[in-house]
């Protein structure tokens, strides 16, 4: 593995960041496949995080759409989203590397909470960088991080969202590389992060494949996941990539969906460029300046995407489509009422795609990665409904 997925990926970083990235690459190669590491991680994932997560068939939602919908329930994991699969892996790696501190960026706050929890569990300190806009819209998660003993650093640069939080975390890492590991939150960034995060998240697809085979006797027709940086999506896709008969759909956030408005659909609406140490698809203006992104869901609000997704799009193995804010909101309400499951607004983008395409895929089996639960989004959901003259 040279850090490239086709033409995408790489390690475009200042020289001062090379030593910790190389150290991380070597340590990953040394520890990840050792049986003691695998056993310790497996125990943490099972006894602490709550794996394996269930695969839930949705009878009412399926009947309404005319599609057989199965949800991979990452929302039921400790801390409420798939992020903890990765943070436990990286925190354990940090211990093996004799690092005492974890640093991380967060958008929706889910990765921050998952890092804070993993750090507490493994006796490490945690410092979480979060944009001021995200601090405002995901306040409950800021309180959770504090309660878990992490320090939350508010980032007031640029658009004050995930992009700027990553910049600040990388800057901090340069100055504190001896005793600190950057616990990156998605399958993006400089090599080896895309590969490392995908490795830890691929437990989602490993379980889901086995579970759907047991329940239905065949592979699903579609596997659908929301794409921010791309970690839950690559986590569920990886174990289906070699089955060409399974149609893989990544759903990007179209923002308001109006032409010319800010969005977070870097594969659909961006072009190749470098951000945060990787060459990938990127929202940028004609001069190559990174455009501000927008999504109703903080976790998808990012102008870039992991390089493996850019590659899978380029070779046509995964189809990347879009869902707008209003469609995600509607999907969130629909699943909540039909099945008693409140999905995160991020995951609601995947549900929204299935709702929209239901007339074309009648009778098919669809596996959706329900990456997280929606409790963190209640204020946003309430406000967005009020703006539309609706109530909870």
- By beta-carbon proximity to ligand PLP, the closer residue of 53 and 232 is 232
Take residue 266 and report the two structure tokens written for it: 């870097």
Nearer to ligand PLP, 28 or 231 (CB): 231
261 is an active site residue: no
Under the rule (CB under 6 A), what is the footprint of ligand PLP?
81, 107-108, 110-111, 186, 226-233, 299-300, 344, 346-347, 371-372
Say if residues 343 and 374 touch (Cβ distance below 8 Å).
yes
Min separation Cβ 134 and ligand PLP, Å = 10
Among candidate residues 58, 183, 247, 332, the one labeled active-site is: 58
Smallest distance, ligand PLP to C-beta of residue 205, A: 13
Residue 35 C-beta: closest distance to ligand PLP, Å: 28
Q: Which is nearer to ligand PLP, 85 or 177 (CB)?
A: 85
Supply the minimum distance, in Å, between the C-beta of residue 101 and ligand PLP.
Answer: 22
Query: Which position among 82, 239, 309, 311 bears the catalytic label?
Result: 82
Residue among 300 and 323 whose Cβ is closer to ligand PLP: 300
Beta strand 222-226 pairing with 180-182: unpaired
Q: Distance between CA 152 and CA 336 in Å, rounded?
A: 31
Q: Indicate the residue among 25 and 308 with the shorter CB distance to ligand PLP.
A: 308
**Cβ 267 to ligand PLP shortest distance, Å:** 12
Determine whether 82 is an active site residue: yes
Residue 245 per-residue DSSP state: T
Residues annotated as catalytic are 58, 82
């Amino acid at each position: 593995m040279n850090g490239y997925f086709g033409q995408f990926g790489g390690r475009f970083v200042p020289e001062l960041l090379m030593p910790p990235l190389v150290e991380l690459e070597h340590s990953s190669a040394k520890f990840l496949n050792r049986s003691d590491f695998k056993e310790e991680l497996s125990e943490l994932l099972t006894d602490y995080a709550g794996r394996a997560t269930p695969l839930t068939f949705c009878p009412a939602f399926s009947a309404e759409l005319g599609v057989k919908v199965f949800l991979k329930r990452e929302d039921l994991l400790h801390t409420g989203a798939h992020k903890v699969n990765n943070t436990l892996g990286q925190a354990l790696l940090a211990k093996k590397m004799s690092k005492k501190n974890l640093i991380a960026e967060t958008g929706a706050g889910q990765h921050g909470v998952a890092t804070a929890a993993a750090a507490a569990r493994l006796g490490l300190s945690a410092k979480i960088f979060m944009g001021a806009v995200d601090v405002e819209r995901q306040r409950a998660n800021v309180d959770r991080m504090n309660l878990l003993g992490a320090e939350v650093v508010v980032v007031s640069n640029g658009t004050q969202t995930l992009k700027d939080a990553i910049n600040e975390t990388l800057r901090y890492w340069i100055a504190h590389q001896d005793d600190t590991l950057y616990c990156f939150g998605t399958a993006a960034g400089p090599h080896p992060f895309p590969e490392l995060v995908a490795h830890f998240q691929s437990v989602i697809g490993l379980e889901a494949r086995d579970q759907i085979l047991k329940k239905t006797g065949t592979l699903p027709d579609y596997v659908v996941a929301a794409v921010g940086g791309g970690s839950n999506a690559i986590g569920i896709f990886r174990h289906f990539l070699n089955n060409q008969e399974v149609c893989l759909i990544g759903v990007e956030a179209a923002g308001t969906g109006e032409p010319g408005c800010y969005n977070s659909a870097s594969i659909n609406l961006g072009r190749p460029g470098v951000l945060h140490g990787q060459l990938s698809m990127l929202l940028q203006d004609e001069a190559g300046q990174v455009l501000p992104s927008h999504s109703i869901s903080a976790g998808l609000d990012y102008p870039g995407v992991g390089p493996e997704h850019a590659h899978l799009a380029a070779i046509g193995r995964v189809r990347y489509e879009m869902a707008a804010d209003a469609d995600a909101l509607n999907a969130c309400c629909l699943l909540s009422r039909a099945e008693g499951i409140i999905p995160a607004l991020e995951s609601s983008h995947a549900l929204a795609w299935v709702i929209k395409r239901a007339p074309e895929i009648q009778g098919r089996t669809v596996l959706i990665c329900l990456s997280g639960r929606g409790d963190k989004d209640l204020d946003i959901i309430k406000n967005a409904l009020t703006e539309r003259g609706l109530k909870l």
